[in-house]
Every structure is written in structure tokens, then in C-alpha cells.
Amino acid sequence: MLENTPIPILKLKDFLLVSIQIDLHDRMAQQLQQDILERISQTQAKGVLIDISALEMVDSFMGRTLADTARMASTLDAEIVIVGMQPAVAITLVELGLPLGGVRTAINLDEGYELLQESLKEKASEKQGIEEESEEEEADDSGSD
Amino acid sequence: MIVVPIKEESDIVHARAAAKDVARKLGFGLVDQTRISTAVSELARNIYLYAGEGEVHIEEHPDSHRGIRVTFIDNGPGIDDVELALKDGWSSTKAMGKGLPGAKRLTDHMEINTQPGHGTTVTIEKWLAQ
């Protein structure tokens, strides 16, 4: 049984907001990952903002946990944006050999929120495009009969 | 010298916090403090993962180089092939294989003394710019 994390996951319209304010040990980081995925599934959230501006270091375990969480969330149709990474943390992560490839990042909460809004709009218009196309195909089919 | 025993997972957090604190007091800038605490985190985790327990010793560099020295001591299984363990992405467990090579890149000096079956001592140093 994993310990509970003292980190609240707040819902804000279509998104979730998580702010990591304390240095997490490994099991707590894993528990947080699980909590986030469960909340996505419960709330059908389309995006998650994870604020790490208070984190003074991200080592290979935390970095991998964040990257994994982002990949897992995307299979639940939710996008994760990591927000507010300190410059010293970014430098160290790359030197460590762990650039967070594939993970979307933003400089602050405002930018992260914009990113999520934009990608939600893009997804909606893509979906609409596909629906229109299939309607056209149906129309073609009925015409050729 | 500060000694942080590593017995459980939360001790990794204690070790990296203590190392950062010492680095700050010795006059390291924020980026170097972060490099040091990250390297300490990786190597303290290695103790926890591979040996189960051990100790982290944090001290001011005693010799000519001004800076910090951190020593990681365990009586675990030792490292069979140090050269291999220093390769990026190689890991004997399902860990990422970033620990040793990553810590080496983040510091100015690393030394590994190990004997299979008799434990491992890893020493890292970060020097203050002269």
C-alpha cells in the first residue's frame, strides 16, 4: 500500500491543476502519478497543469515519473503540461542525460493554460473535420447507388 | 562532516537536502547546488536500490581544491563491471541507468572503489572556481 500524497489535485473546468510544493521521495512521486491518472479518469479532464516551480531539483527518478505520467495521461486523452521549471533544474536535467523529450512544458501557469486551451481547440476542429469527411463519404455512397 | 544514514527511501531526500545545504554554505551558486544535490540523489538511490543500506558522508574538500566532497559507502554486492556501470543507459535493474554516468557528468571528479561481494564506495567532488 502506497502512502497518500499531501498534494491536492484541483479541478478547473476541463483541466486539473497540481502544484508540487515539497521534495517528494520516490514512492510519493509514484503515488502522485497514480492519483493524477485516477482523477483524469474520474473527471474526464482534457489536460493537466503540473506546477514544479517550487522543486529545487528533478533527478532521474522524478524526471522519468513526470515523463511517464505525461505518456500515460495521453492514452487517457488528456494532455500534461509541466509548468515553471527552474532554470537550474533544466540545466541539470539535460546534463544528467534526461531531457524531458515529448513532454510539453511552459514557463508559467498562464502560458501552460494557453497551451492546453489551444490544443483542446485543435483537437475539437480535427474531430469536426473527420466527422464532416465521413458525412461526405456517406453522401457519396448514397449517390452512387 | 555530516553523515546521513541511508536505510529507507526518504533518506535519499535527506541526503540531497543536506548536500545542497553544505554546498550553499561553501559558496556554490544555485546551478552548482542543483548539480550537487541531483548527483547525491542518484548515488544515494543506488545505495538504497542495490545495497539496501549505507551511509552518505558530506564534507568540505580537505585538500588543495576548494569545494565539496561526498562519499557513498555501502556493504552491498559491489559492482561487477565498473566500466559497464558507467555507460549511459546501462542498468542491472529496471532503473534508468542514469545514476553513475549522470552523477559523473554533474561533478568534477568521481572515484569508484568496489569489490564484488564486499561493497562499494563512490566519492564525488565539486570544486569551487578558483
CATH of residue B29's domain is 3.30.565.10
Amino acid, res. A119: S
Flag whether A125 is in a domain.
yes
Q: Which residues in chain B have Cβ-Cβ distances shorter than 8 Å to A60? A: 42, 95-96, 98-99, 102
Task: Give the residue, B5 or B65, on which the prediction is more confident.
Answer: B5
ipTM metric? 0.89
Q: Cβ contacts (< 8 Å) between B12 and chain A: which residues?
A: 25-26
Q: What integer pLDDT is reported at residue A1 of this predicted model? A: 44
pTM of the model: 0.88
CATH number of the structural domain spanning residue A139: 3.30.750.24
Which residues does B46 contact at the CB level (< 8 Å), separation at least 6? Answer: B72, B99, B100, B122
Closest approach of B98 to chain A, Cα-based (Å):
7
Q: How many domains does chain B have?
A: 1
pLDDT of residue A136: 67
Question: B-chain residues within 8 Å CB-CB of A53?
Answer: none
| Range name among A23-27, B8-12, B63-67, B120-124 with the lowest pLDDT average | B63-67
- Judge whether A92 lies within some domain: yes
Does any domain span residue A4? no
Render pLDDT for A32-75 as a digit per residue (tens, 0 to 9). 999 999 999 999 999 999 999 999 999 999 999 999 999 999 99
Looking at residue A142, what is its pLDDT? 56
Cβ separation A96–B102 shorter than 8 A:
yes
**What is the chain A residue with the closest CA to B87?**
A97
Torsion (CA) B106, A58, A56, A7 in degrees, nearest 10: -170
Domain ranges, residue A72: 9-143
Chain B nearest-CA residue for A63: B96
A92, A95, A98: best to mutate for the B interface, most B CBs within 10 A: A92
Segment A107-136 mean pLDDT:
86
Average pLDDT over residues B50-64: 91
- Position B129 confidence tier, pLDDT thresholds 50, 70, 90: confident
User: Quick one: angle between helices B9-26 and A26-43, nearest 10?
Assistant: 110
Q: Mean pLDDT for chain B?
A: 90
In total, how many domains does chain A have? 1
Q: Is residue A67, in this structure, part of any structural domain at all?
A: yes
With beta carbons under 8 A apart, name residues in chain A contacting B99: 60
Cα distance between residue A21 and residue A39, in whole Å = 19
Q: Is residue A43, in this structure, part of any structural domain at all?
A: yes
The mean per-residue pLDDT over the stretch B63-74 comes to 91
